[in-house]
Amino acid sequence: MTQNIALIASETLQTPSVAWVGLLPLIILATAAVFLLTICSLIPSRITNQQLTIYTCAAAIGSLIASIPLWLRIHDESKGPFSTLSGAFGIDGFSIFLTMILAVSVILVSCLAGVFLKSEDIEGPESYVLLLLSASGGMIIAGANDFIVLFLGIEVLSISAYVLAAMNLKRIQSQEAGLKYFVLGAFASGFLLYGIALLYGATGSTQLTAIRDFLANNDLTNDTLLLAALALIIIGFAFKVAAVPFHFWSPDVYQGAPTPFVAFMASAIKAAGFAAMLRILYVTLGEYKADWQPAIYGIAVATLIVGSLLAIIQTDLKRMLAYSSISHAGYLLVGTQAASDQGVAAVLFYLATYTFMVIGSFAVISLNSGPDGTRTDLDSLTGLANRKPMLAIAFTVFLLGQAGIPLTSGFFAKFYVIEAVIEERSFGLAIVAMLAAVIGAFLYLRILTKVWLTKTETDTEDENTITIPSQVSFVLLIATIVTLFLGIWPEPLVEMAQRAVPILLTG
């Protein structure tokens, strides 16, 4: 009797197998966030913004370096991808690729934050802690093999982002942005959670591999519950990536939030959102792609058209780039709708290149927005080429890249997603994407006209002098080089993206 009780207890208390090396990039970022918060609570007045920036960059660089051996290991034929936490978290090319994007985003954004948060009177370690935690949530999403883990990652990512949006306590616009983001994000999480609950009811599991195998091996006579779950999950993800018609929060949040954190939202958070969408729709629910492809098709068309058209009528630069970001989400949806390995690779390439272009663009806007960060109207760019020629050149590279002009990485990003849908014979969607690119080009040319073809009045020229700190120069230099390099020789990143197509791993 005693032996039976001991046996039952040992089985009940059995802990899941954990391959800690696979979690190392995530552990580095999350531990760095907790450690920083602990240290700053003990000695709050002794740590400067510069030290916080160095610490955050070091943590992100450590996470990036830890990802490299994992990337080499999973592409070693004798080892390959693997899972940990009893199959709840997968380490494959997809999760490592997204982890690298998130780490790079943290490095670049923390360099911007170190300069611009001080000018906006946002002091303290909270911003850096939240930045690290949000990126950690994105890494959890990228490797999630279970809906519970996925939702945990989404909430860690989102809650940190809500607070980041409202970090400037001295600006009512920042408080409004944080509140709007929180309320609408909570609705999105509610839709997603209801969708997960219905999917559990239809398949009997929250584990992605079990759901995929159940749908592959069973022909449901009544799939109403599954289709309802699919609709709610798509709505939840569409909110997260600011796809039309669930985009209303994006322009207001982009305009009101501190600019460095807007750059993080446009790059890292968007990447994490599409990571979740691809892992669920393409890999887990691939058997039902005939049901979700039309919905993604319609959302992609609306997102491309609305984002492009509304961007050209804005007068605030941050709102312009908000609608531009919505339009870029449309291109990413185009690649998602293709539901093919080529489409997924195109989305990953797009996310990687867009990260550098959008962070570089917001860095320029931050430099040009004045000491308090409020001068973000289009007219503020008047005569930028005369005041700071090199800054104008960098901004031109980023805008031309987002427009998809040849010899920039943006050209290949758009080319690959359009090629992917053409391969799947979605010709109408490809045509809409190309038309949206033409409309979007007008927006970027409108901005460049202000930069290059207008001059600042001599009596106000001294007031518009721009000083570029070394940290921001580093960000601009890296972003410019990557945008131009991948516009000439995209093959290295293309090969990485092709080797990063997501898979599901059993425990």
Does residue 411 carry a pLDDT above 80? yes
Assign 462 a pLDDT band (cuts: 50, 70, 90): very low
Q: Which residues contact 30 (CB under 8 A, 6 or more apart)?
A: 132, 133, 136
Assign 218 a pLDDT band (cuts: 50, 70, 90): confident
The rounded distance, in Å, linking the Cα atoms of 427 and 408 is: 25
| Per-residue tokens: 144 | 């999630």
Assign 3 a pLDDT band (cuts: 50, 70, 90): low
User: How far are the Cα atoms of 15, 139, 151, 226 from residue 97, in angstroms, in the given order?
Assistant: 29, 10, 20, 30
Answer whether 414's CB lies under 8 Å from 437's CB: yes
Residue 280's nearest CA partner among 329, 342, 215, 325 is: 215
Q: Which residues contact 193 (CB under 8 A, 6 or more apart)?
A: 151, 236
- 32-78 pLDDT, tens per residue? 999 998 888 887 677 788 889 999 999 999 999 999 999 999 988 88
pLDDT score of 27: 94
Does residue 353 carry a pLDDT above 50? yes
- According to DSSP, the β-strands at 82-84 and 89-91 are antiparallel
Q: What pairs with residue 377 in β-bridges? A: 316
pLDDT score of 106: 95
The rounded distance, in Å, linking the Cα atoms of 41 and 125 is: 9
**Cβ neighbour number for residue 178 with a 10 Å cutoff:** 21
- 166-182 pLDDT, tens per residue? 888 788 888 888 888 99
- The percent helix, strand, coil of the chain (3-state, each to 5) is 75, 0, 20
Q: Where are the alpha helices (DSSP H) in 267-316?
A: 270-277, 289-311
Does residue 6 carry a pLDDT above 70? no
Assign 464 a pLDDT band (cuts: 50, 70, 90): low
Q: What is the value of pTM for the model shown? A: 0.93
Assign 217 a pLDDT band (cuts: 50, 70, 90): confident
Assign 326 a pLDDT band (cuts: 50, 70, 90): very high
| Per-residue tokens: 239 | 């909110």
Mean pLDDT of 288-301: 93
Percent above pLDDT 90 for the chain: 60
Domain range summary for the chain, segments of one domain joined by +: 17-498
Diameter over CA atoms, the chain: 94
Does residue 463 carry a pLDDT above 70? no
The average confidence (pLDDT) of the chain is 88
Q: How many residues does the chain have?
A: 507
Assign 21 a pLDDT band (cuts: 50, 70, 90): confident
Mean pLDDT of 217-232: 86
Q: Under DSSP, is residue 207 helix (H, G, I), strand (E, B) or coil?
A: strand
Residue 278's nearest CA partner among 318, 360, 205, 334 is: 334
Tell whether the torsion through CA atoms of 134, 156, 166 and 365 is positive or negative.
positive
Answer whether 204's CB lies under 8 Å from 256's CB: no
Lowest mean pLDDT among 104-108, 331-335, 365-369, 409-413: 365-369
Q: What angle do CA 233, 311, 170 make, to 5 degrees?
A: 80
Does residue 240 carry a pLDDT above 70? yes
| Per-residue tokens: 399 | 């805008």
User: How far are the Cα atoms of 81, 82, 405 from residue 73, in angstroms, in the given order?
Assistant: 8, 10, 36
Lowest mean pLDDT among 213-227, 296-310, 416-430, 470-484: 213-227
